[in-house]
Structure 1
Amino acid sequence: MQVRRASAADWPRIWPLWHRVVSTGETYMSAPDTDRETAAGVWLLPPPAAIFVAEDGSDVVGTALLKPAQPGLGDHVANAAFMVDPDRAGQGIGRRLAEHVLDAARALGYTAMQFNAVVSTNTAAIALWTSLGFDVLATIPGAFRHARLGPVAIHVMFREL
């Protein structure tokens, strides 16, 4: 598996994964019926954002978006979003992608990383982030309308780089 920086030219291979993950309504705030063009506008942000893909041969098995958490005086803290092919869960793709993005964030001068909305029922993601040194700073009850479970909490997670 290789992790590399992606470009807009990779979107046709990222989109099926993005759509598959978001359409479940279980882990991302984006509407499950988000169309391809809108999704591209959400994921393919201009610099200073950076998009990454994890590839296994010609297959995109994961993707990540790294960006400043806030503009201006908050741009030293990174925010990131990650997606892994559900059929490949548990194979270390998320960890490899996360480690690559954390290294990239450090190289780009970020001093910390925060996640604003880790869905509390996404136990695999929470376990990964905790194992990589992230702490839950806050829990917001009922902030996510889970497609199967109804309102569930989200966590704000953070770590210094």
Structure 2
Amino acid sequence: MIIREYEEKDLQQMIDIWNEVVEEGMAFPQEDFLDAVSGKEFFESQSYTGVADDDGNIVGLYILHPNNVGRCGHICNASYAVSSKSRGLHIGEKMVIDCLSKGKELGFRVLQFNAVVESNVHARHLYERLGFVQLGTIPDGFRMKDGHYENICPYYHNLYFLETKR
């Protein structure tokens, strides 16, 4: 399996994986599904979109983009999605590591996650293992699919000193 930049031929598989995570309602704030048109536009609008390619089968993807503008434009944000059929195989870890490098390569200084759901312990352990720092907890910051609210945990990783921390 390799992590690489997405190509147009990957779009339908990417849209399917993205929509699967949206449907689960436990990680992404989005509630609307992507279709062929909105998906192409969405993935093209990112600073970078990477895919986990397992011999032509897309098993995961990530998006990387500025978290803000102007004086905070050096901070980037990312989202990761792994197909439910491929979870538990450390694909997310490979994509986060690639994303850290890509963010630095693109000139960002910090990678920040605004809304990691507190109960998403697998993601939180991964981020902490890779050197991300939790900034605190926002009570009831995420509305789950069933309507109840869960806390969110913002995280960040300094990309400027990335080579000295790994």
TM-score normalized by the length of structure 2: 0.87
Q: Distance in 2 between matches of 1:76 and 1:7?
A: 26
| Distance in 2, Cα, partners of 1:8 & 1:136 | 35
Correspondence for 1:155 among 149, 153, 156: 153
Compute the displacement of 1:102 (Å): 0.6
Match of 1:128 in 2: 126
CA-based RMSD: 1.9
Aligned residue number for residue 29 of structure 1: 29
| CA deviation after TM superposition for structure 1 residue 131, in Å | 0.7
Q: Retained in 1: the 8 A contact 2:11–2:40? A: no
Task: Normalising by structure 1, report the TM-score.
Answer: 0.90
**Cα deviation, residue 38, structure 1:** 7.6
Which ranges in structure 1 are unaligned for 5 or more consecutive residues? Answer: none
Q: Which runs of 4+ in 1 moved over 2 A?
A: 7-10
Structure 2: unaligned runs, 5 residues or longer: 160-166
What code does the residue aligned with 1:134 have? F
For residues 149 and 121 of structure 1, do their structure 2 counterparts lie closer, same or farther at Cα, with a shift above 3 Å needed?
A: farther
For 1:89, the equivalent position in structure 2 comes to 87
Counterpart in 2 of 1:19? 19
Q: Please give the alpha-carbon distance, in whole angstroms, between the structure 2 residues aligned to 1:134 and 1:79.
A: 13
Q: Which of 56, 59, 63 does residue 57 from structure 2 map onto?
A: 59
Query: What is the letter of the counterpart of residue 30 of structure 1?
Result: Q
Quick one: which amino acid aligns to residue 115 of structure 1? F
% identity of equivalent residues: 29
Q: Distance in 2 between matches of 1:55 and 1:35?
A: 20
